Amino acid sequence: MQDYTKKKEEKKTYIKNIKKCKKNGTEYYKVKFADGTTFYNVSTDKESLKQLMDVQEKQVDLGISRKKEIEKKNHGFCLKTIACAAITGYIGVTTAQGIYPFQGTGPELAIGLGTVALGATAYSFFKYIETRKKLNEINKIDFRNKNEEDLKNFKHYENALTGFSKDKKEYFEKTENPYSIVNTNFFSKNDLQQIMDNIEREKTFKFKYVNTEKSNKQ
C-alpha cells in the first residue's frame, strides 16, 4: 500500500507491504515497514492475517483523512513539473541558437542552469506520480467503503461480474477478502465501479434467471 506518513517516527510502525513467501515447504509472510525494515517468517494463520488487515485498514483511513492535503501537493507538483520543463526547454532552445539566458555569459552557465532545471523537472514529476498513486488508492478504498454492503454481497447478483476476464472473476469469487487493503494491488477502482454498475442494473430490472448448468443427474 501507499505510504501516508508525515513524520519519520510514524514510519517505524507503518506496514508498507505484505508478501506471502515459501521456504522449505513452509509459507510465511514477509512484512515490510515504511522505514525500510523487513520482518520475515510471520505466520500466515487467520489471526495473523486479520491483525495485518486491521493495521492496514487503519493506515488507509489515515490516508483518507489526509486526502485534501495530498491533492494540494499533487496539484503543486504538477505545476512545478510544467514550469521546470518549460524553463529546461527554453534554455535548451536558446543555447542551441547561441543565445544565453544572461547577457555576457557563456554556454557553461547555460548548460549548468539547464542541468539544474532538468533535475528539478525530474524530481517534481517523480513527486507528482507518487502523490497521484496515493490519490488513486485513497479514491479506490473510499469508493469501496461507500459501497461496502453491495460489494460484499455481489454473489447475490447473477451478473455482478459480467465483463470481467476469467482470472479476475476467479479472484473475486475465490479470495476470502477480495476488497481488503492487503489485496489492493489485485483490484482497481474501475473494477469496483463495474461491479456496482452491474449490481445497479440488476436492482433496476429485477430480471428472473434460469439455470443453464448441466445437471449431473442421469
Would the pTM count as exceeding 0.85?
no
Does residue 75 share a domain with residue 109? Answer: yes
211: in domain: no
Does residue 158 share a domain with residue 132? Answer: no
Domain final residue, candidates 141, 160, 181: 141
Does residue 119 share a domain with residue 72? Answer: yes
**Taking phi first (over 0 means left), then psi (-120 to 50 degrees means alpha), and beta for anything else, what does residue 25 get?**
left
Does residue 135 share a domain with residue 76? Answer: yes
Does residue 137 share a domain with residue 84? Answer: yes
Does residue 136 share a domain with residue 77? Answer: yes
> What is the predicted pLDDT for the residue at 218?
44
Q: Which residue has the cell 487503519?
A: 58
Does residue 55 share a domain with residue 44? Answer: yes
Q: What is the DSSP string of the chain?
A: ------SGGGGGG-EEEEEEEEETTEEEEEEEETTS-EEEEE--SHHHHHHHHHHHHHHHHHHHHTHHHHHHHHHHHHHHHHHHHHHHHHHHHHHHTT--SSTT--HHHHHHHHHHHHHHHHHHHHHHHHHHHHHHHHHHHHHHHHTHHHHHTGGGSTTTTTT--HHHHHHHHH-SSTT-GGGGGG--HHHHHHHHHHHHHHHHH-------SPP---
Domain final residue, candidates 126, 141, 156: 141
Cell of 5: 506518513
> What is the predicted pLDDT for the residue at 210?
87
pLDDT means per 10 residues, the chain with 218 residues, are 94 95 95 96 94 94 94 92 78 58 55 70 89 96 96 95 96 93 92 97 91 62
> What is the predicted pLDDT for the residue at 112?
62
Could you tell me the residue range of the domain that residue 117 belongs to? Answer: 68-141
Number of domains present in the structure of the chain: 3
Does residue 176 share a domain with residue 134? Answer: no
> What is the predicted pLDDT for the residue at 110?
57
193: in domain: yes
Does residue 82 share a domain with residue 45? Answer: no
Does residue 129 share a domain with residue 158? Answer: no
216: in domain: no
Domain final residue, candidates 141, 163, 191: 141
> What is the predicted pLDDT for the residue at 43?
95
Does residue 133 share a domain with residue 75? Answer: yes
> What is the predicted pLDDT for the residue at 118?
75
Does residue 156 share a domain with residue 104? Answer: no
Q: The domain spanning residue 50 has which CATH number?
A: 2.40.50
